[in-house]
Amino acid sequence: MFEAMEHFVTVVDSGSFSKAAERLRKNASSVARQVDRLEQELQTRLFIRSTRRLELTLDGESFYHQCVDILQSVRDARQSFLDIGSDIHGEVMISVFDTYGQAKVVPLLPEFQQLYPNTRVAISLDNALIDLHASPFDLAIRYGRPTDSNLIGKTLVHNTGVLVASPAYLDKHGPPAQPEALKEHRCLTLLKQRQHVYWYFRNGDQYRKVRIDSPLSSCGGAPLLQWVREGIGLTLLPHWFVDSLLETGELVEVMPEWEANLTDSEDTRIQMLWKPGSAHKPVVRAMIDFLTGRLESLPYKRPSR
């Protein structure tokens, strides 16, 4: 259908089948057959044909403008991929929530700028949701499924939680045997203003929702990680934030038989989001490919014991 749409637009722009055939370097009969097939597929007449002139019907007029927009979008998309191989320049702006941004995105940006020295990169570490349509940002990295269905999303990682403590804390207080036993421990949590904090646990068909009253809380994960490394208490953090410390043994996973999460939602994805038109900019496309290659990961596997 794409080729037939190109033929149809060329006929309209040229004013006749014969002139369109010359521009397309095809026989006039071949061009006419493409338009005939298009009319059959759409089940409507696109032209009023006479020996004197070629005139669009109302449906033809409407379809012509839609075809022009579609064909131009395809050409722009094609060109954007061709341009990736050429000099990348210009500015790209990224919005990402604080913890993931600090831990994963910020360390990568100097490498991107070295790869593409004619670029400028700006990042905002803000936990507030932004409207990509009404902001200057090209990309946003957020939890879960976007509420705006017009955005394009790429899953970077599944935000599975891990309940952790330091060996020193566990030596002194012992590990909790069940989620309900967390009430007897110092649990350090992310701050939810004027809301109770709950942690969620699954073990096969068993489910627990445990209210956590924390002596220390933080808007971001960095203070929690510092406190738990100092042996002050237990905390529940995303696996990507503590994997390296679990591997070295500086932290220990608590109640590994229970799958722990900060939310009861099944959608635990962290996604990179952008508007459809944003990826047409070569610098934005380059950043999408760069971050995807560096950040996209396999599902979390617990460290071997």
Same domain for 104 and 41: no
The answer, as to whether pTM is greater than 0.85, is no
Contact (CB, 8 A) for 252 and 164: yes
Instruction: Give the span between the Cα atoms of 93 and 4, in whole angstroms.
Output: 39
Per-residue exposure over 32-62, b if at least 16 CB sit within 10 Å of its own CB, e if not: bebbeebbeeeeeebbeeeeeebebeeebee
- Residues 96, 151, single domain; the answer is yes
Query: What stretches of the chain show up as alpha helix (H) in DSSP?
Result: 2-14, 17-24, 28-42, 58-84, 98-100, 109-115, 167-173, 221-229, 239-248, 282-295
| Residue whose entry in the numeric block shows the structure tokens 């493409």 | 34
CATH number at residue 192: 3.40.190.290
Write out the two tokens for 153. Answer: 């999303």
Give the whole-angstrom CA distance, residue 287 versus residue 139: 9
CA atoms within 13 A on the CB side of 192: 13
Question: Which one, of 214, 196, 220, 202, lies nearest residue 260 by Cα?
Answer: 202
3-class SS shares of the chain: helix, strand, coil, % to 5: 45, 25, 30
Q: Is 304 within a domain? A: no
Same structural domain, 42 and 99: no
Query: Both tokens of residue 17?
Result: 């089948």
Amino acid identity for residue 214 in this structure: S
Boundary (domain end) residue, out of 27, 52, 84: 84
Which domain covers residue 242, as residue numbers? 161-261
- Given 49, 69, 84, the domain boundary residue is 84
The burial class, CB within 10 Å (0-12 / 13-18 / 19+), for 12 is buried
Instruction: Please report whether residue 153 resides in a domain.
Output: yes
Q: How many CB atoms lie within 10 A of CB 176?
A: 21
**Would you state the pLDDT for residue 212?**
92
Query: Amino acid letter at 50?
Result: S
- The pLDDT of residue 266 is 60
Residues 202 and 171 in one domain: yes
CA distance 150 to 278: 12
Residues 252, 169 share a domain: yes
Distance separating alpha carbons of residues 279 and 139, to the nearest angstrom:
9
Phi, psi of 203 (to 5 degrees): -145, 95
- Is residue 40 included in any domain, yes or no? yes
- Looking at 84, 108, 129, which one is the last position of a domain? 84
The tally of domains found in the chain comes to 3
Distance, first Cα to last Cα, the chain: 57
Claim to verify: residue 176 and residue 247 sit in the same structural domain? yes
- What is the pLDDT, as a whole number, of residue 84? 52
Same domain, 119 and 255: no
For residues 165 and 257, state if they share a domain.
Answer: yes
Residue 15: Cβ-neighbour burial (10 angstroms; 0-12, 13-18, 19+): exposed
pLDDT below 70 — which residues of the chain? 51, 78-86, 146, 193-194, 265-267, 297-305
Q: Are 209 and 77 contained in the same domain?
A: no
Tell me: do 290 and 147 sit in the same domain: yes
Q: How many CB atoms lie within 10 A of CB 259?
A: 16
Rounded Cα distance between 108 and 87, Å, is: 20
Kindly state whether residues 165 and 240 are assigned to the same domain: yes
3 state SS for 245-262 = HHHHCCCEECCCCCEEEC
pLDDT tens-place string over residues 20-43: 888 888 888 888 888 998 898 889
Q: Is residue 300 included in any domain, yes or no?
A: no
Query: 273: helix, coil or strand?
Result: strand
Structural domain contains residue 129: yes
Report residue 107 as tokens. 């360390």
Give the pLDDT score at 298. 45
Q: How many angstroms separate the CA atoms of 127 and 219, rounded? A: 9
User: Would residue 245 count as lying in a domain?
Assistant: yes
Position 302 in a domain: no
Q: Are residues 125 and 243 in the same domain?
A: no
Judge whether 301 lies within some domain: no
Determine the pLDDT at residue 81.
Answer: 59
